């Protein structure tokens, strides 16, 4: 079952994002499941992560890869070049933006970004795919803005 | 002559942005010209600022106020609530974004953000006003995107 989710195009796009940032080949022997494990946090685990300290660079990287995968999937299905901007302040609040031209295909406010994560791999895949589809729908609705 | 520029609505919006972040009232006795002085850099002065170090927080603040003033002016003239996201990486590259709904009213790539500045107060006013007008034109052209 887990394997099915891992094979979804969104999850594979996310895996590619992570593996692309592996200059020393550390992840080469890691399975996709192991690579994605830090994205899965139970409510209990989230609660244990303090939100009164800045978001650490590894968590920031995880957020960037997640929205990067959304951007790459939208690109693949629309042919539009997408930009990703992740902006998190010291308190863990901010924005995740995926855009093309003058059109924001995906906008998400981030809160408690220190605790970025999903309850399961299924939820991660679902959230990612939902954002991809909503982004594509916007580009199809406003193509001239995406090219502006 | 300088006084005329300082009185322009854009420059006054910028002055308000800066004065709003003055919890100890340090700027209370400063003229607007003095407050805006760090925005004015000659080519020579720019060249002296190293770009191999991260953007210092004061310069980052200056960039944020500049685009904040653009956002406030667009808001004042369109009634749309605008969001500002400034994203600069360690090398001084990044994005300045001003948006409403799914519409990016202003997008600027930042390069050598360490050297952010203008050759004169006139140029600052002109660049700011140009961005405001372009942003308003986009909102008028795509009102449904700005509300999406």
ipTM of predicted assembly, 2 dp: 0.90
Q: From A98, which residue of chain B is nearest by alpha-carbon distance?
A: B102
B145 to chain A, any CB pair closer than 8 A? The answer is yes
Q: From B141, which residue of chain A is nearest by alpha-carbon distance?
A: A145
Strand-pairing partners, residue A87, are A95
Distance CA A100, CA A146 (A): 5
Question: Which residues from B are below 8 Å from A95, CB to CB?
Answer: 83, 85
Q: From A146, which residue of chain B is nearest by alpha-carbon distance?
A: B103
Determine the structural domain holding residue A30 and report its residue range.
2-146
B20 to chain A, any CB pair closer than 8 A? The answer is no
**pLDDT value at position B3?**
58
**pLDDT value at position A127?**
97
pTM of whole model > 0.90? Answer: yes
Domain count, chain B: 1
Question: Which residues from A are below 8 Å from B88, CB to CB?
Answer: none
pLDDT tens-digit series, residues A33-73: 999 999 999 999 999 999 999 999 999 999 999 999 999 99
* C-beta atoms of A102 and B104 within 8 A: yes
Band of the pLDDT at B6, cuts 50, 70, 90? confident
A134 to chain B, any CB pair closer than 8 A? The answer is no
Query: Can you give the CATH number for the domain in which B80 is found?
Result: 1.10.3100.20
A18's tokens: 């992570």
């Amino acid at each position: 079952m887990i394997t099915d989710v891992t094979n979804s195009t969104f999850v594979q796009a996310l895996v590619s994002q992570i593996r692309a940032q592996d200059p020393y080949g550390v992840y080469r022997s890691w399975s996709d499941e192991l690579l994605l494990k830090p994205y899965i946090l139970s409510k209990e685990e989230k609660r244990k992560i303090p939100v009164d300290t800045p978001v650490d660079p590894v968590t920031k990287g995880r957020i960037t890869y997640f929205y990067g995968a959304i951007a790459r999937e939208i690109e693949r299905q629309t042919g539009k070049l997408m930009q990703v901007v992740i902006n998190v302040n010291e308190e863990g609040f901010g924005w995740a933006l995926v855009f093309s031209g003058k059109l924001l295909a995906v906008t998400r406010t981030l809160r408690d970004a220190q605790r970025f994560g999903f309850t399961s791999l299924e939820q991660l895949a679902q959230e990612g795919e939902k954002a991809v589809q909503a982004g594509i729908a916007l580009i199809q609705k406003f193509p001239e803005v995406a090219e502006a």
